[in-house]
A and B are shown apart, each in its own frame.
Chain A
């Protein structure tokens, strides 16, 4: 994998995002959906952190809260040592040229009434970078970088395919030369045949421009391919985090084990013997998460302590940092998967 210098670019500490549930005549708050419930992680300069988990696990909310498109309920996000959550509105706006985002839906995330040129140059215009002529040249350069014909500058988004539109979105995200890019399920809306192209493009761009990614996805094989480290989220919490290979081949958390066991294997013989762990039930209601370990109602190893106490997020790695939030992580180390 790529070189990762151990310099922390983004430091997320105990991040929480609750959405209030209001009822009745006076819109009284009767509860809260704990979409993100105490998430902590670091992202090092130049690495890709994959964030995986089921739908409704709080992955995207984490991404949005990290870049402060949603205001965090609690916790801090430090970017290059600067706490983003206390920045004033205008300061945050200026900060955004360093932090960009790639969106999930390439059809909805491009304004249908703007030309490709206007869309890609908007970040430059907003941050007052360059003269109109320089911006135009930059847009053409960007289109070329993402593999589009620079002559498409006057076209409209509806004239492009999904993969091409996602490239336009990527060009827009790169316009201001950001250091950090949040990719919010950038490939899940694309055809499988296009997904690899876009992931490869993201990979190339990262190496070329020294980008740092927070890569949110639910496709585990793609995440394994692009990420240096992986964090697994369940019900608003990170349950396991570590180097990609450790998390995939030596999963410590039963939830991760279930996810990994669900990945189809390309080798037909191995696929025959693959025994996916089928999780029972659904993700519990995040407004009313289970007591103790959030995962215990669906966990095959759950014991009394899981019903009682919140597991601590511990580092169990020997040579690398491999964090897990499970009471029985030590016993579960035997369950490895060979894929």
Chain B
């Protein structure tokens, strides 16, 4: 008296088309809509998020093709003849105090700034994910050890940590990326540890353990996929902050060194000539604002897409 034929597909009429009671015909191709795909669908219905994504894609595209438009020499070589020209057809963003085309430098600078941002987030996310997973999953003295290490890192203000790393290794964009990335690790560790503590209490984790899954399998197959969503949102928003901080450190002269066209460094340079050449600080500044804004739009969109219940 097994009620086989009462098991019709429920809530998926769109995919299966009609009642597929009893005999499974040829619906092997019926593929469920995964949580990821449903989130993606929500994301692309959000106009602000799509705007952010479009702008970001454009920025990446333009910076990728920057070398085709301006050669490295063009934006590095100093020329007295073209010094501090205001924006014109030949130089849409004007030229700087050393006679270099500003548009070219902003485009090339995007390569530096974006790469720095991504690497910072990658270091923080990678380190934080591994530490947080182990910490939350293992518990006990392992958890204690990692959390005290994180406490120590957290006790030092991020900017100060960055300054001391730069102080030890000397100024430069790579050092700054490393420093900011390291300073990011505690935040990610805390965040992931918290989610892991919650996720590991799920019944399906117990189910995996009972059927004999190893700890590593449980961590990476069951817990990580279920905590990574909110973390990615945080990482996206963190990308904007990372770009700002690296730019900020470059602005202070600790990051990218001349003649590198990093946005923060350009802003710093432009500051000195602001009263005579407004275009010098304005364009790199605008670039930072637009890049960070688009990233934040993407982050907000992701947040809503992953967690539709939180939407206002």
Interface residues of A (CB under 8 A from B): 67, 69, 93-94, 96-97, 100-101, 103-105, 108-116, 122-123, 126-127, 147-156, 158-161, 164, 167, 169, 172-173, 176, 197, 200-201, 204
Cβ < 8 Å to A, chain B residues 1-55: 1-4, 6-7, 9-12, 20, 24-25, 27-28, 30-36
B interface, size bucket:
35 or more
B32–A156 CB distance below 8 A: yes
Minimum CB–CB distance from A96 to chain B (whole Å) comes to: 4
Cβ 8 A contact of B24, one of A112, A126, A150, A161: A150
Chain A residue nearest to B4 (CB atoms) is A147
A154–B211 CB distance below 8 A: no
Minimum CB–CB distance from B46 to chain A (whole Å) comes to: 21
Q: Give the chain B neighbours of A116 by CB distance below 8 A.
A: 32
- Bound together, the chains give a CA A96 to CA B214 distance in angstroms of 12
B24–A151 CB distance below 8 A: yes
- Bound together, the chains give a CA A110 to CA B203 distance in angstroms of 8
A148–B204 CB distance below 8 A: no
Minimum CB–CB distance from B201 to chain A (whole Å) comes to: 10
- Bound together, the chains give a CA A96 to CA B203 distance in angstroms of 17
Q: A151-B24, A151-B27, A156-B35 are in contact. Are A101 and B11 (CB under 8 A)?
A: no
- Bound together, the chains give a CA A69 to CA B211 distance in angstroms of 10
Most buried by B among A147, A152, A201: A152
Q: Give the chain B neighbours of A103 by CB distance below 8 A.
A: 203, 206-207
Cβ 8 A contact of B207, one of A101, A149, A200: A101
B115 contacts the other chain (Cβ, under 8 Å)? Answer: no
- Bound together, the chains give a CA A113 to CA B222 distance in angstroms of 8
Cβ 8 A contact of A154, one of B3, B10, B30, B206: B30
B226 contacts the other chain (Cβ, under 8 Å)? Answer: yes
Chain B residue nearest to A93 (CB atoms) is B212
Q: State the 9 A-B residue pairs at the shortest beta-carbon distance, nearest first.
A: A155-B32, A96-B212, A108-B203, A109-B203, A151-B24, A151-B27, A156-B32, A111-B204, A147-B4
Minimum CB–CB distance from B27 to chain A (whole Å) comes to: 4
Interface residues of B (CB under 8 A from A): 1-4, 6-7, 9-12, 20, 24-25, 27-28, 30-36, 202-204, 206-214, 217, 221-222, 225-226
Q: Give the chain B neighbours of A148 by CB distance below 8 A.
A: 7
- Bound together, the chains give a CA A109 to CA B209 distance in angstroms of 11
Q: Give the chain A neighbours of B212 by CB distance below 8 A.
A: 93-94, 96-97, 123, 126-127
Cβ 8 A contact of B32, one of A93, A108, A159, A172: A159
A201–B2 CB distance below 8 A: yes
Q: Give the chain A neighbours of B12 by CB distance below 8 A.
A: 155, 159
Cβ 8 A contact of A101, one of B4, B32, B210: B210
Q: What are 15 A-B contacts with C-beta separation under 8 Å?
A: A96-B211, A100-B211, A111-B222, A112-B226, A113-B36, A115-B34, A116-B32, A147-B7, A151-B30, A153-B28, A155-B32, A159-B32, A167-B7, A197-B6, A200-B2
Q: Give the chain A neighbours of B2 by CB distance below 8 A.
A: 147, 200-201, 204
Chain B residue nearest to A124 (CB atoms) is B211
Q: Give the chain B neighbours of A112 by CB distance below 8 A.
A: 35, 204, 226
- Bound together, the chains give a CA A123 to CA B213 distance in angstroms of 8
Known: A105-B203, A151-B28, A156-B33. 9 other contacts (CB 8 A): A97-B212, A101-B207, A114-B221, A126-B212, A126-B214, A127-B212, A147-B3, A158-B35, A161-B10
